Amino acid sequence: MNLEATADSASRFVAFVEELTSVIGHADRARPLRDYCAGLLVSDGRRSVEPIAAVTAPAEVSAQHQRLLHFVADAPWSDEPVLAKVREVVLPAIERHGPIEVWIIDDTSFPKYGSESVGVQHQYCGQLGKQANCQVVVTLSIANHHASLPIAYRLYLPKQWAEDAVRRKKAHVPEAITFKTKPQIALAQLRQAYAAGVPRGVVLLDASYGSNSALRAGVSALGLKYAAAIVATLKVRSASERGAPERRRSVKELALSLPKHAWRTITWREGTNDRLRSRFARVQVHASPTRGRRGRPEETLLIEWPEGKPEPTKYWLATVDKSISFRALVDLAKMRWRIERDYQELKQEIGLGHYEGRGWPGFHHHGTLCIAAYGFLISQRETIPPSGPHSARMLKRLAIPNGYRPRGAADPTPTSRSQLGRDAPSTVDGSNRKSAPKMSMLCKPIQKEHASSFMTQYN
């Protein structure tokens, strides 16, 4: 990146953040908003308030620390309008490559020590792949094959927390927040996105959400289609059978009964260059217990049984048009990998899990600002002219140079990639597929000698 490009990227960053200031409330929040987002992009290693303060105001770290801490932990601004504005600004950049194809519901976790941070409980931690002390967040993302963006972000508050008035008060949990299961949180996010007029997409769910019949019914009630992963024990009845409801059997049993000719090898795509292959079958089924139940028509059961495996490994129920091609159906179901990419990049490159406060407002404010910074990087992917056939992999940081870091500041230990567990794309679907172009390439620091040019533009 030359000096002109550095100054141009700084100018675009300032313009992007100024869009957000229109919904942040008081004018005195504009600078902390800008600095916090800048710090998320600039800081090496941990991106909590203290290192962000050191990076964004090296001459007055203590005062900056207090300003940013108040802004993220205490200031009464609302997350929803900011996330809506991020979506509004970033969506055109995503849709330049085609319409939104899917809405993706999922959750991600943050391991925690102690029990004081809001929502912490010993529960399943996807990041570690086991039961552990952690916080869990439910998210909704929109995506096409080019990019994806989280548009809703809500902490799951365990029942023990929701019913503990003392802990709620200490963590500043709003009175309106009551206990909701993760599928209930997900359905509320879907309803909010639908009401806001977000461009429609097929709703993708992993098995922990897709196996929930109430959630699937809620999606259908909104008039949305879904491709929902389900557990092997979920019972269905083949639409080709005219027997009574007692003929219901598990999807695994049905899959094992299918003839050899029902299986086809399908190639689908993930990311920019990846091509993956596996064996699939599809069959029309009734998933509701009573045949012809109102509002629950036939669904397509999609089954994956990779060559060499002793039994099928994945199952989906889909309400998309039955005329969809086999390959398009597989490609659609497999698009859920994009949320795994979101989680990985938000954690590794933006510091989504680095917030060190314990309260509800600060936890959500930090998440919102991380999504804003992430959205800016997504919107800027195409601002560097191509330099070769794989130039997408050579993108450098477009916003703020590493030189913004004060000289002599220590680099905290970055998040280990091995700790990402379930959230790392390499673990999805059990394959060893190549990764799509990574945000870490986009976040790669520009040369430090351009820092003064950037700072002139930024400040």
pLDDT of residue 416: 32
pLDDT of residue 42: 83
Which has more confidence, 429 or 80?
80
pLDDT of 397 over the 70 cut: no
What mean pLDDT comes out for the span 58-72? Answer: 94
pLDDT of 356 over the 80 cut: yes
Confidence of residue 381 (pLDDT cuts 50, 70, 90): confident
> 103-112, pLDDT tens digit by residue?
999 999 999 9
> 236-272, pLDDT tens digit by residue?
998 876 655 557 899 999 999 999 999 999 998 765 5
pLDDT of 313 over the 70 cut: yes
> 403-438, pLDDT tens digit by residue?
333 322 333 333 332 232 333 333 333 333 333 344
> 139-149, pLDDT tens digit by residue?
999 999 889 99
Query: If you average pLDDT over each of 123-127, 209-213, 344-348, 420-424, which comes out highest?
Result: 209-213
Over its C-alpha atoms, the chain yields an Rg (Å, rounded) of 23
> 166-198, pLDDT tens digit by residue?
999 999 999 999 999 999 999 999 999 999 999
pLDDT of residue 383: 63
What is the average pLDDT value for the chain, to the nearest integer?
82
pLDDT of 22 over the 70 cut: yes
Which has more confidence, 179 or 450?
179
pLDDT of residue 243: 53
pLDDT of residue 414: 34
Q: What is the pTM of this model?
A: 0.83
Cα 214 from Cα 211, distance rounded (Å)? 9
pLDDT of residue 444: 41
pLDDT of residue 200: 97
The dihedral sign for the CA sequence 367, 373, 377, 378: positive
Which has more confidence, 13 or 316?
316
Are 18 and 26 spatial neighbours (Cβ–Cβ below 8 Å)?
Answer: no
Confidence of residue 27 (pLDDT cuts 50, 70, 90): confident
pLDDT of 377 over the 60 cut: yes
pLDDT of residue 127: 83
pLDDT of residue 295: 44
pLDDT of 392 over the 50 cut: no
Which has more confidence, 384 or 337?
337
> 267-285, pLDDT tens digit by residue?
987 655 678 899 999 999 9
Confidence of residue 7 (pLDDT cuts 50, 70, 90): low
Which has more confidence, 120 or 403?
120
